[in-house]
Chain A
Amino acid sequence: MAITNNVTRHILPNGMTVLLKEQHTAPVTSWWVLYRIGSRNEPTGLTGVSHWVEHMMFKGTDQFPAGYLDKAIDREGGMWNAQTSFDYTAYFETLPADRIGLGLRAEADRMTNARFDPEEVESERTVIISERQGHENSPTFWLNEELQAMIFRVHGYHHEIIGDMTDLETMTRDNLFQHYKTYYAPNNAIAAVVGDFDTTEMIAQIEALFGALPAETLPRTFVRPEPPQQGERRLRIERPSPTPVLSIAYRVPEAVHPDWIKLYMLDSILGGASGFGGGGVGNKTSRLYQALVKKELAANFSSGLLPSIDPYLYGIDVTLRDGRTLEEVEAAVFAELDKAINGEITQAELDKAKKQARALFAYSGETVTNQAFMLAYYEHIAGNYEWFITFEERLQSVTLDDVHEVAQKYLQPSQRTVGWLVPTGEADDADGEYDGDE
């Protein structure tokens, strides 16, 4: 048991990692269990299996039948939910502090006892297809899906977390159950608990509930590294869309790579600082806002990096203003990036980005739910939660030379993929209303 930065790390004999942080500011506790399995580990034919399994975890065990916990947790004034990402699948309960035992019992039970009733699997198939169709209603979903597939030809980051429609139509109950039985085990889990509790008592509760669950032999996870990119890639999606959209992505390293934090600083200056949960700041003084929105080329834009296990992307997405062309907006983005490559970022911009990070970091600690998630997430993707705790401090030592260096290194045309969403035809012509009784 080790305590660093007020966080206790405790490893159960079966290999489950538990991170605990007492915070007695409100009578609330949040409890997360994160499994080291996500969509990046899914082979072709099983895309979307991690997400679907996440849904099935809410469909009942013998102890807690489907629907029981939804009601029990609401009755206690709590909340529970889950999320599937490229790198992980995670579950949480946040409850009034004296009720958190319910969350612990729920996760201990469904780590091994989820039922995967065939009927529930079939009913959930249409729910998930409906979830995907909801995404498909957004024209940018199609652009992002194709862009991702073009950038990652080999690596599992190539498909959407929700999965390809064909796999959602054909995956079987056995596929889902096999995934669950293989990867849901204490030695593949990181638990994090933050809130109003006593650490010694909490460890005893966790040991009592999880200690007897057996460790499983974990297979080598399915990961295929992406080969180097051999030049710019371009893609064009043609669909009904209210506006053209430009999406540009550069390949960048994984979160623990020393360049990642420098790229975070570069992005703060180019596109505005990203928060860590708990609130953000605007991007109106960022370079891309000045070059795109202020020049009336774009209605809005966003940019960012995702801290990831394997090398991922630095992305810039731009919604064009009426009457602007993709050619001119793309040229404006590249011109702005060239300035960063040419060493034109100033010390004042870097200093501002550091100040912003200080505030955003302070905001990130204001809810126990966000704190517990951050601990589990960074313990997984960076190998140690301290990566996050020390992030703001390490950020302060990034220099102007560092920022220019990563701009030169990663914003190379040969390392980018450019996607255009081109609105088709006269979509408005097809618009119409009818009373539904025809």
Chain B
Amino acid sequence: METSSPVNKATTLPSTDNIVREVLPNGIVVLVYENFVTQSVILNGLIQTGSIFESADKAGLSNIVAGALMRGTHNRDFDTIHETLESLGASLGIGSGVHTSGFSGKSLAEDLPTLLNLLSDALRYPSFPIDQTERLRGEILTGLKIRAQDTRSVASEAFRKLTYPMDHPYSRNLYGEVETVTAFTLDEMAAFHAANYGPRGMIIVIVGAVKAEDAIQDVKAIFGDWQNPAQPDVPALPPIATLYEARQQFGVVPGKSQSDIILGWVGPSRFAPDFQAANLANSILGVFGMMGRLGKTVREDQGLAYYTGSRVSGGMGPGPWQVSSGVNPANVYKAIDSILVEIKRMTNELVSEQDLADNKANFTGRLPLNLESNEGVSSMILNMEMYNLGLDYLRHYPEMINAITREQVQRAAQKYLSSTAYVLAVAGPKIER
């Protein structure tokens, strides 16, 4: 009784037919999608600030500033903010990324104005109260200490430093270093906030049991008067030299049973014309089915690892394309060899018609699951806005995916992957070859 795919029921997809988009005079873009089936509402979005705006000697500044926003404002102290949220069964969080800082909240629909007011207060009027900010600093420092003994974090940090030049924001730890985090003054935090937080480039997405008209009215009333003429332009990313050989680093973390492996390259940004071809190559390599070809060889055939797989980050800039795996220390080299065999296969051979058709079917067929919840719809709308995909992106999406050829997939693999020039970072117990 198999009928046509729900993907073809275009009216159920978020599109220009049902997303209301409005640009406020101060630059904020508001997008609302009504869904009266649930009782809740999701509020998420981003502002144009992140660690890209901090200097290398201030690593972690953007992170601590974003973390401090919900710790006290000129209008509400810490207890008031959280009493308001928690007494409604609502949540709201703000965090820094590299290019942008994101926010995400959820509440019952009737509490959306409260959520918006709290968000506005936190983004615009933080007071960096000394007691709360010091507490936050202590929590971040404890977090850094934990990361320093977490094998995945250690491998990931080593990978970043080997892959990107020192002056590149991607080489830095978003959370900073013990030395930098210890040194930030409250004045520096307030200054970073004053200079970088503003409405230009801000995106607010609201999905749930609210009328679009009312939600937009609320946003206008609460955010409409925000201005920051000092808001800087986004700095350009430094160039990354082409990698011609393998670079590797093995980190020792005592008291561990397993080694974490990260092997990767500089990948495409989400804006790259070959992003979806690379994304399909990645799916075939380490995602589709049980973790793709890597899962088949490393986990299923050889039983070397519980987890293995690959991920192409595809964000605002050339983020990493990584293979990762957790293996017994005795199997590290065997696993690396198996991974490299699959990388060579991806670059040297065309993928089969069947593999490509399977993965395309997955890309287009998973939309109903991805769009089932308000969270799924809101993150899809945010993606369409932040990457300039257009609000009718999903209507054209199956056609666009289905047009990608085996040759394009191979060209993307050849462009980004290499079995001889790669970055390898391993962390775990000391191992012998």
User: Which positions in A face B, CB cutoff 8 Å?
Assistant: 25-28, 58, 66-67, 70-71, 74-79, 94-99, 101, 122-134, 136-137, 139, 239-243, 272-273, 279-285, 293-294, 296, 299-300, 319, 321-322, 352, 355-360, 362-363, 365-368, 424, 427, 430-438
Contacts and interface: CB of A to CB of B under 8 A. Distances in A.
Interface residues of B, number: 86
B362 interface: yes
Contacts of B148: 242
B251 to A, nearest CB: 5
A96 B146 CA distance: 41
Given A126-B304, A130-B305, A130-B328, A281 B361 contact: no
A362 B39 contact: yes
Given A128-B306, A293-B135, A352-B86, A322 B141 contact: yes
Contact of B306 (A94, A127, A360): A127
Interface stretch (B61-69, B254-262, B309-317): B254-262
Contacts of A293: 135, 139
B91 A282 contact: yes
Given A122-B303, A427-B254, A436-B433, A96 B374 contact: no
Contact of A123 (B143, B251, B300): B300
A433 B1 contact: no
Contact of B288 (A71, A96, A432): A71
Given A126-B303, A130-B305, A74 B289 contact: yes
A272 B38 CA distance: 24
Interface in B3-40: 3, 5-7, 9, 12, 37-40
B1 A98 contact: yes
A322 B250 CA distance: 28
A296 B138 contact: yes
A436 B142 CA distance: 29
B364 to A, nearest CB: 7
Contacts, number: 236
Contact of B256 (A137, A272, A359): A137
Majority secondary structure of chain A interface residues (helix, strand, loop or mixed): mixed
Interface-central residue, A128, A285, A437, by most chain B CB under 10 Å: A285
Contacts of A123: 300-303
Contacts of B91: 279-282
B415 interface: no
Contacts of A134: 257-258, 306-307, 326
A74 B288 contact: yes
Interface stretch (B44-52, B222-230, B365-373, B382-390): B365-373
Interface string B277-318: 000000000001110000010011111111100000000000
Interface stretch (B77-85, B187-195, B345-353, B403-411): B77-85
Interface in B141-197: 141-143, 145-146, 148-151, 158
Nearest to B426: A436
B38 to A, nearest CB: 5
